[in-house]
Amino acid sequence: MNKTPSDDFYYALVAFLMQTKQHIVTVAVEHGLTGVQALTLLSLKSRDERSMTELCKQYDCDASNVTGIVDGLEQKGLVSRQPHPHDRRIKLIHLEEAGRTVQKKLIADIAGTSPDMFNGLADAEIEQLAALIQKMNP
């Protein structure tokens, strides 16, 4: 049986996401990146490579938009395009060592300057929230 949270849950979730996104954009600009470039770098954390098609689906946009995002990251030496090992039509976005370094700095700065939204939570609650988010997004 599918569980459906209340409307209040979704209003709170959207508010949280908007606040978090704005914070990430602010930190990204401090690192010379756009918000979507920072999000793309951070999305490569779980896997070193993602296809351009996956990014198009993630951002719900066409290939030309993703090409522009990746071009900017590639010009900075943070990612490179690699051919898929089994399908030459597919280009994989590979995280370069410089990209890993920027990832770590982004996360450190995001965590170090987090908005006040976490102030009312105990450390155990923050850990529980992280575990729940990971459970919902394997």
Domain hosting residue 66, numbered range: 51-113
Given a cut of 70, whether residue 116 has pLDDT beyond it is yes
6 falls within a domain = no
- Mean pLDDT, residues 21-48: 89
How many structural domains comprise the chain?
1
Query: To which H or E segment does residue 51 belong?
Result: strand 49-51
pLDDT tens track for 59-68: 898 888 999 9
Rounded CA gap, 132 and 109, in Å? 23
Q: Hey, is 45 helix, strand or coil?
A: coil
121 falls within a domain = no
133 falls within a domain = no
Four-point Cα dihedral 37, 40, 42, 46, nearest 10: -160
83 falls within a domain = yes
pTM metric for this prediction = 0.81
pLDDT tens track for 119-138: 888 889 989 988 888 888 76
CATH number at residue 55: 1.10.10.10
